[in-house]
Amino acid sequence: MNKILFLCTGNYYRSRFAENLFNWLASKQGLDWQADSRGLGLEHGTNNVGAISSYAAEALALRLVTIPDDERFPKRVTEEDFQAAVRIIALDESEHRPLMNERFPQWVDKIEYWLVHDIDQTSPAAALEKIENNLLQLIQQLAQS
């Protein structure tokens, strides 16, 4: 099983949506890929309540993607997470490249960056739709390789 890792700041909203939707789409396509997600700066998520953002949970439900009742809480990324992944995608280059430079400089140029801003700059509907579109392209790319 190939592993893909999605990174965001708090591992609460964007990366959790990407992880759950990717796994659902990959399973439907019969791909030998599984996603996980982690956060680069959990300390920034001071207003987070519960295991996953209500915006992410609601958007997943609209797409008929179920999340487990015992959904895990956000996790901080570790060196082992980087080593275990075949592909790594940080969801907002402008936000995450500086965190990567500060915390994991050896990985900063070995990962892919998307440009999906957090809730302070982009509405949840627009951000999650952009993630979904990127995921659909990614799934298509993986299916052809």
0.75 exceeded by pTM = yes
For residue 15, what pLDDT is reported? 97
Listed by start position, the domains of the chain span 2-144
- What pLDDT is stored for residue 69 in this prediction? 84
Q: % helix / strand / coil in the chain, to the nearest 5?
A: 50, 15, 35
Distances (CA, A) of 94 to 82, 97, 112: 20, 6, 12
CB 139 within 8 A of CB 35: no
SS3 121: coil
Residues in the chain: 145
Q: Which pLDDT tens digit goes with each residue over 91-144?
A: 999 999 999 999 999 999 999 999 999 999 999 999 999 999 999 999 999 999
Q: What sections of 9-123 are H helices per DSSP?
A: 14-29, 54-62, 79-84, 93-103
Query: Is the predicted pLDDT of residue 23 greater than 90, yes or no?
Result: yes
* Residue 143 parent element (H or E): helix 124-144
Q: Which CATH architecture has domain 2-144?
A: 3-Layer(aba) Sandwich (3.40)
pLDDT in tens, 30-46: 999 999 999 999 887 66
